[in-house]
Amino acid sequence: MGATTMISLVVLLHVYLGSRLIGGLGLTGLAASAAWTALALLFVSVPLGFASTRAGPRWLGVPLWWVSHLWIGVFGLLLVSVLTGDVARWLWAAVASPSAEGARRAMRVEAAVVLGLLAPAIAWGWRTARGPARIENVTVPIPGLGAGMAGLKVAQISDLHIGQTLDGRFLERVVEQVNALEPDVVAITGDLVDGSVARLRDDVAPLSRLRAKLGVFYVNGNHEYYSGPVAWERHVASLGITVLHNEHRVVQRGGDSLVIAGITDHDGGAFGPEHQPRPDKAVAGAPQGVPRILLAHQPRSAEEAAPFGYALQLSGHTHGGQIFPFMFFVRLQQPVVSGLHRLAGMWVYTSRGTGYWGPPLRIGPAPEITALTLVPAPLAAQA
């Protein structure tokens, strides 16, 4: 779909919303003009908000980003609610055959209900998105895991999206939550930032305070590629974090070993052959017979990774859908939306994300920090 077609579609959807809500409430005169003007300004705020991250002072860009991205979320909520209400009203009209006055009254009720529910939905979504992440405790059976590695705790954070609306104070809270878990390993599975190193250097500084007995590991996600992947890999490494760019490390505990590998984002190859995800290269030279864990931003990397002997892949990217009902659309691109699943013969855990992208709202899927405990798989499961 071309840019012109997309813009035209969004304009038409704004007109549709206006006709259903402004017209549905029966607003006329100055009130109607003010409502339509506000709707037009909110539409214009979206491209201005995106442009503000690339040019202009931050004191102007941050408020524009807040307004534009909050509107993206509200627009989605309104659109889904109005469409649902219209379908219900049309079905009622087909069954009840109401009078013209009855139909107009139904439109007013629909508009009033949608707008009446909007404020509590935004408040709930805001509080969920901006509040502390939930700790998700997950146990994963790993074939061939040695006794010395049994009970190994991996803390996973993903999709923090440090940028315009999530800053260093938010990241400090995340770091405190992770450190409180006393993990053996910390895995950061991409989309750490939305912005350049120069812009966000101070905001990501708390990452240097992450603590894990066997190491903190990082792979980039698609959003790092919008912000300078090489610069971010270098900066993350300068914070004492191990960057896994199609490579691995071997960690040891209690006389046993575990391979922790990481690949670039699923779509990284579009930015040059050196950024093509290579699950084969990531374990080149890795010891045989040692369980392998893969950090890969997108769950759909599992199909390419499976032939290379990985027992578990840790991913993010989906945000769990972030705002109902968009999780149903995520499945059009990704094999899973969230949680632990078997894909291509290996375990894949997909985080709902620790931050959010775009709208500062989460309606349905809460943010998470995952505490994964690795245990030896029963012999029957390994056979």
Kindly tell me if the per-residue pLDDT of 52 is higher than 70.
no
- Residue 222 CA to residue 94 CA, distance in Å, equals 47
Kindly tell me if the per-residue pLDDT of 3 is higher than 80.
no
- Helix pair angle (29-51, 3-21), 10° resolution: 150
pLDDT per position as a tens digit, 200-259: 999 999 999 999 999 999 999 999 999 899 999 999 999 999 999 999 999 999 999 999
Mean pLDDT within 61-90:
88
Mean pLDDT within 173-184:
98
- Residue 274 CA to residue 48 CA, distance in Å, equals 33
- Residue 275 CA to residue 381 CA, distance in Å, equals 35
Is residue 46 helix, strand or coil?
helix
- Residue 163 CA to residue 69 CA, distance in Å, equals 13
Q: How far is CA 112 from CA 19, 29, 94, in A?
A: 13, 19, 22
Question: What are the structural domains, with CATH classification, of the chain?
Answer: 3-129 (no CATH), 133-382 (3.60.21.10)
Kindly tell me if the per-residue pLDDT of 380 is higher than 50.
no
Kindly tell me if the per-residue pLDDT of 64 is higher than 90.
no
Percentage above 70 pLDDT, the chain: 96
Residue 374 contacts residue 150 (beta carbons within 8 Å): yes
Mean pLDDT over the full length of the chain: 92
DSSP label at 296?
-
Q: What is the pLDDT of residue 58?
A: 67
Q: What is the pLDDT of residue 201?
A: 95
- Residue 101 CA to residue 35 CA, distance in Å, equals 24
- Residue 259 CA to residue 291 CA, distance in Å, equals 6
Q: What is the pLDDT of residue 93?
A: 80
Is residue 311 helix, strand or coil?
coil
Residue linked to tokens 């919008």: 226
pLDDT per position as a tens digit, 251-278: 999 999 999 999 999 999 999 999 999 9
Q: Given the DSSP bridges, would you call strands 247-253 and 256-262 parallel, antiparallel or unpaired?
A: antiparallel
- Residue 93 CA to residue 137 CA, distance in Å, equals 48
pLDDT per position as a tens digit, 95-124: 888 888 887 888 888 888 889 989 999 999
Dihedral pair phi/psi, residue 306, rounded to 5° = -55, -40
Q: What is the pLDDT of residue 383?
A: 43
Kindly tell me if the per-residue pLDDT of 46 is higher than 70.
yes
pLDDT per position as a tens digit, 317-343: 999 999 988 888 898 999 999 999 999
